[in-house]
Every structure is written in structure tokens, then in C-alpha cells.
A and B are shown apart, each in its own frame.
Chain A
Amino acid sequence: MNNRFEEPISVSEYIQFLNELLKKVEVKLIGEVVQLKIHQPSGHVYFTLKDKDGAIMNCVIWKYNYRMCGVSLTEGMTVILSGNADIYPARGTLTFKANTVELVGEGALKKAYDELKSKLQKEGLFDIKRPIPDYPQKIGVITSLYGGTVIHDFTSNLGKFGFKIRAINSKVEGVEAVKELLSAIERFKKEDIDVLVIMRGGGSLESLIAFDNEMLVRSVANFPVPVIAGIGHHKDVTLVSLVADAAESTPSAAAYFLNRSWENAMHKIDSYSYEILNNFNYALQKTEKRIKLSLDFIIKNFDSIFEEYQKVELRLKETLTKIKHQLISDNNKIGSLRVKVLRDFIEYLDFQKRIVINYEQIIHYNNPEKQLKMGYSISRIKGNIIRDISQVKVGDDIDIQITNGIIQSKIKNIKK
């Protein structure tokens, strides 16, 4: 750019020229905040920065940057602003546009830290801890990849368990780091990882200020998978470490933490395989012993088993013989009974026959016709059979029945 103007230029052109120069000069200003005004509804913060000598400068910090810094400005507060100045053409005034604002002094930083910690604690943000999954493989790492030993300490202490490391570089020092850390977290939200590790080496409260930033803390709390913080610290644990699901004080410790479930699994496998082999060996020995005992028993008892078998066989034979004899006896009984039954029945039949014949004879002898046929007759007087001579007298009429008729007669004489 030509720094000499031969021809006259307009005020606007001159201001534009100056603004372009100022834009290239990024500085850090230290001073006391006075005349603080938060513009509504934009939320942009306007204030004046005044130094010990009484020099002042108009300052502004846009709402987004103000929120990201996580600092609540109050009048009288000493701060360090980083940014650059420009001239507002309509008024010709110079304004310092701060990108970040930091508190100055351990006391102020500690106070801000305690206040935010207490606020987040009340919200219960530090109480929610998600379990770190066993056997994680896809690891997301956010740290400064250059100019330090952090990533080296981390990777060299990771075991050979097939970890897949995806690292995103980020500033980790000062307020400026917040933007990059948030951006890295946002990027990891879209990636398929099992766990996220945020790391940096130790440092003072001032150098670790990014890790006490409210936006960053909330972003970690809302991260979709568990987060491990591997942030070194001197005195106070960073708020990111408090909100993380697990916190280790060094990158190496974070690596050991990730190794733990894998190492446990290896130990378990070793222990199980030892146990299985031991049990199997024991079972083999036990079975072998049992077989040997059984064999001894069989050998010892073989003769007695054989004798017992012979006894049983003998008893069986005896029983069979008994059954056979019983069968023969029963058969003989049946045979003799058969003969008896037949004989008895024949006798009974003969007896019946004799009875019938007997009755036949009785009837034959009692048949009145037979008597009459033989010439006997039956005499009746007035219907009564004459059995005694006294029943009749001379002159009586009597009937004499013979075999084929009745002779009506009169008594002429009676002989006694």
C-alpha cells in the first residue's frame, strides 16, 4: 500500500485507509472498566477502558464474544482486552473492538471461578456422570497437537488394544482457546466415537482459564458420548474436569484409564483360561481316579459277582422245575377231575333214568284201566264204591264198571 498521498483524499477514504491499517494491528489492552453499558436488545457491551495515567478509550465487545469469554464485566474491574481498534466514520471516533476479555489477577480469576463453580454445582451439573464404556475403541482427542508433549504422552501410554484415535488440534491456552475448543467439540458431535478426551498439560489458573469457561463446560456436559478430561492443574480442578464423566490429571493417566477395561479383560481372559485348564485337569484326574476305583472294584468283586450269578441261575432253575411240577400236577388233577365229572354225570343220568322208570312203573300199576282190563270191576251204589258188604242189601240197584262199560244190576242175594 502506498503510504503517501500526492492528491487530496476524502475523509471517508482516509478513515477507510486508517481502519485497514488498524485492522492489521491486534493488541492486548489492559485497563479499568468504566461507564459500562449493555445495549438492549442487541446484548452488545459498550464501555470505556481507562489506564493509570487517565487515558481512556471507547470499547465494545459483541454479544457472542462476550458470552464466549464467560466474564461478567462490572465497573472498576481490571481486564485485558484483545482485539483491534477502528474509526466510526460517521462520528470520527475511535473504538476498540474486543474479541476477548480476561480478568486480571489471581484474586479476580479465583472469585469468578468460585462463583461459576457454585452456580453450576447448584444446577447439579457436576453430579451427572455417565459410565465410560468398557472396551472403547474409537477415541476422539482434543488438544494442542503441536509444540508440546501432551499428545505424545497420551499415545505412547495407550496399550495396543486396537484404539482408533481421531485428534483435532485446538489452542488450549488463554481465553482465545475457548472458540477453538468449542469448535472442535462441535465437530466431534458429528463423528462416530465411543469417548471424547480433552487434554492439556498443567498450568496456572490464568493459563487454564479456557477450561473454566461456562460455554465450554456446558458443551462438555451436553456432549453425546462420555467425556474424559485429562487436564493438568496446579491448585483448583478446572470446571471442565469437574463436569467431565471422568477426570485424570495428566494425559498419561487418561491413557491408562482407557487401557483399564482392556487390561482387565486381558487379566480376566488369563484368569479364566487358567481356571478352565485347572478345572479340566482336575476333572480329568477325578475321572481317571474314579475309573481306577471302579476297575479295582470290578476286579475285586468279579468272582463274587460270578458266584452270585450262579446262585441266581440255580434259584431260577429250581423255580422253573417247581413250576413244571406244579403244571404237571395241575394237569393230572384236571385229568382226574375230568374223569370224575364225566363218571358222576353218567351216574346222575342213570339215576334220573331209574327215577323216570320207577315212576313209569308206579303209574303203570296205578292205572285203573289195567285192573279193569284184567277182569276186575268196580261196584258202586249210588255213586259210592262198595268196599264192605254192609253197604248193600238185597234188592238194591248197583252199577258194575268193567273195562269197556257199566253193568246196571240188582242184588238178588247176599253171601257173607
Chain B
Amino acid sequence: MSKKNLGDNLKKLAEISRWFDEREEINVEEGLKKVKEAALIIKESKSRLAEVENEFEEIKKSVEDEF
């Protein structure tokens, strides 16, 4: 899976979530595929959020230093 930005990842997760909501009859295999895809996206999103948080901490520090 190609690495996407956080916004794209959240969109994708929303689609998967909607997919589960809309299904009256769940295809287990199909559901599993979606779960696996969602698990990967969540992992990547968490990692990206951690990165962003770190970057933000650095920026925050430099901004505070300036003032």
C-alpha cells in the first residue's frame, strides 16, 4: 500500500466504516479484507500522527525560543 497523507487515510477509514454500516449481510472474507486494510491504515495514521506530533514539538520549541 502506498503511503498516503493523514487526510487521505482518514477518508479511507471513513469509507471502510461506512461499508460496515451499510452491510446487512457481511461477507466474512470481504469483511476481513476490509479489516486488514483498515488495520494497516490505522497503523500508518498513528505513526504519521506521532511524526506530526514530534515535528510540532520541535516547531513549538523553536517558536518559544524566538519569543
Residues of A within 8 A of B (CB): 334-335, 338, 342, 345-346, 349, 352-353, 355-356, 359-360, 362-363, 366-369, 372, 378, 385, 387, 401
Contacts and interface: CB of A to CB of B under 8 A. Distances in A.
Contacts, number: 63
Contacts of B39: 363
B43 to A, nearest CB: 9
Contact of A368 (B26, B45, B56, B60): B26
Contacts of B60: 342
B35 A369 contact: yes
Interface string B4-31: 0010001001101100100001101001
Nearest to B35: A367
Contacts of A334: 67
A337 to B, nearest CB: 11
A362 B63 CA distance: 38
Given A352-B49, A385-B25, A363 B35 contact: yes
Listed from nearest, the 4 A-B pairs whose CB atoms lie closest are A359-B13, A366-B20, A363-B38, A368-B28
A287 B17 CA distance: 99
Nearest to A356: B45
A356 B46 contact: yes
Contact of B10 (A335, A338, A356, A366): A356
A378 B49 contact: no
B32 A368 contact: yes
B58 interface: no
Given A355-B10, A360-B42, A349 B20 contact: no
A346 B63 CA distance: 15
